[in-house]
Structure 1
Amino acid sequence: MSNQFKKSDYNLKHLRADCENCFGLCCVALNFGASADFAMDKEAGKPCPNLQLDFRCGIHKSLRQQGFKGCTVFDCFGAGQKVSQVTFGEVDWSEAPETAKKMFDVFPIMNQLHEMLWYLTEALTLKASSPIHTELNFVLDETVRLTELSPDSLMELDVPSHRAEVNALLLRTSQLVRAKSLLELKSSKKSRQTDRRGADLLGAKLRGADLRGSDFRGAYLIAADLRDADLRVTDLIGADLRDADLRGANLTDSIFLTQAQINSAKGDMDTKLPPTLIRPDHWVKVG
């Protein structure tokens, strides 16, 4: 399969995991330790025992029940198929053991680049960010170019430096998107905290809270009670939502929220999500 990406064609569809065209890289390249998220230890570069010869997961339908909840919340943002089909030209690691380690080393780098592409692509869909669309497009094109480098060049990339450049634009996007909500809050003379970047909100009681326009970048919302909370036009980039209770919460127009974050949280049929995200199957089972 040819899976070449053109900059002009880039959209969020290209950045969704396509496991059918990946060599099970997340099941091999990454390490994980026995915990509430994983039922066992696994070293990086060692295939998970549940990975089959056709690169499918043998317990995919029962991952949560068998102690592999962590697998259900991982998202490669399409990096898996990019490395498999493009970077290494459709030659899998089992057929070319001499390049297997290099493929495993490249995968997490590509994963980071594709995550940046997801955020940049989303930023360009937002009307409020139009004043910086030229800059966003420039950095998007540069990020796409980086994903097309050779394996050796990818491993030499200064990813933190490029991420800093991307983050600066994403922060400006966030400020532009949330500006109207913050202005309305100021005009109403209501007083509430909106800058919650990196805040420790572990288990916080925020049920029914009006959190519109807030910045939760990198906030710890693990097991927070956000039932019926209003999270419209909030920035949730990098927020840890593991086991956060989002039942009845309104996340319409929230920005930089990913499927992995949603998959790690609890919710129900009354949870309102952005149109780009899918309601997880396990949510309907939440009591």
Structure 2
Amino acid sequence: MQTETITAPLAEQTREPFLVIDGVSKVYPTKTGLFPVLDNIQLSVAECEFVCLIGHSGCGKSTLLDMVSGFRQPTEGEVRLESQTIQEPGPDRMVVFQNYSLLPWLSAYDNIALAVNHVFPELKRNGQARELVERSLAMVGLTEAADKKPASLSGGMKQRVSIARALALRPKVLVLDEPFGALDPITREELQEELLRIWADHKVTVLMITHDIDEALFLADRIVMMTNGPAATIGEVLELPFARPRDRARLMEQPEYFDLRNRALDFLYRRFAHDDE
């Protein structure tokens, strides 16, 4: 299927590619033969851009972001960050998962400090690591919870620690794999607002998987919509015209919001409905 794109504003079109997913395909061997997960993915992401990926479960979204993170390698094609081929994980690409991935025997402070000390040992030696960890906790409003272990934190607080840990390492790309999927609606909206504030302050490039169209419309510069697998590809890319900073209530009053929302719904739940039958 041809990829459709709503034309971006001129300022968006002239940005140089920062992260390039170039002709990426992923095939796994099985007992019954080769199973193609992704087929010829082409995507360029500008520096500091916020891109959301949506699509039905099983369409390869996580596999694609695993290749950006360096956890997997493409069968064909390559992923490049600042013109360098990604071949392994690195602190320039940090991942935040839905399940928080915190060490339960360490406090919020120590979960972040462990990562900082590993990546920046020189900061530990000169005494600056503590300042970086404390600043990261303050960034997500958890200074008072620094000494609490994950079992004593709510789901939203755990995710704040995960985000603080990722950003403490000063990544170039922040990879978010449904980070708010397990949270209640109120906490989810609060963290969406906080994520936008942090993203604006830190100027980091974000790739985020979500199944929530409204979340994608609120957060992203572009929404990349994946076709159903096997051999999933990019079916359509929506450029979002909404100015920043964004106010949720005002955003939903704009007629373009519901036009784009309906277009995404049409793509996901009607155009490919026969694939699920």
Asked whether the two chains share a fold, i.e. TM above 0.5, the reply is: no
Q: Which TM-score bucket, shorter chain as reference?
A: 0.3 to 0.5
- What is the TM-score of this pair, normalised by structure 2? 0.33
Q: Higher strand proportion, which one?
A: 2
